[in-house]
Amino acid sequence: MEISEKLFSAAWDAARNSYSPYSKFRVGAAILCGDGSIITGTNVENRSFGLTICAERSALVAAVSAGRQDFKAIAIATPDASYAVSPCGACRQVLTEFFPPDAQVEFGNKPENRVHCTIGALMPYDALHDLAH
């Protein structure tokens, strides 16, 4: 499945809501749910820097809070970057809690510069899913 223009565009739009006065680095994320709905998130920084929440986790928490747990794809937009920025290690771990390894990922700093991969590629040798059952 190719990630649609619509999903990346939703991520791009979500970056406009970024609260990033410290890094001035806006990030937007958009999750495609199994029912076809799209839920977005953005990075929310804090003056205690370590409490910053990335866009990917922000979107995931919003989606689960809205009753979704079946996810197909995620798009991430980093409009302030000079290259396509991939999710950080913490976000990769959190995404694998719900996203299957074959879920599609796309990240880009502009619509015409996007990298496409899968959750499994970002987080190989993922483990311990049996703890949830």
Contact footprint for ligand THU (CB under 6 A): 20, 23, 25, 27, 43, 45, 52, 54-56, 85, 87-88, 91
CB of 41 to ligand THU, least distance (A): 9
- Chain-centroid distance of CA 46 in Å reads 19
Residues 6 or more apart whose CB falls under 8 angstroms from that of 72 comprise 1, 32, 33, 34, 103, 104
Cβ at position 89, least distance to ligand THU in Å: 9
Q: Which of 56, 97, 106, 112 is catalytic?
A: 56
Closest contact distance (angstroms) between CB of 57 and ligand THU is 8
Of 55 and 60, the one with the shorter C-beta distance to ligand THU is: 55
54 vs 119, which CB is nearer to ligand THU?
54
Alpha helices in 33-103 (DSSP H): 55-65, 89-96
CB of 112 to ligand THU, least distance (A): 20
Provide the residue type at 119 as one letter: I
- Cβ nearer to ligand THU, comparing 36 with 124: 124
112 included as an active-site residue: no
Number of helices (H), then strands (E), belonging to the chain: the values are 4, 5
Looking at residue 105, its amino acid is V
7 or 91: CB nearest ligand THU: 91
Q: Answer whether 73's CB lies under 8 Å from 31's CB.
A: yes
Give the pair of three-digit tokens for residue 94.
Answer: 């959190």
Q: Looking at the annotation, which residues are catalytic?
A: 56
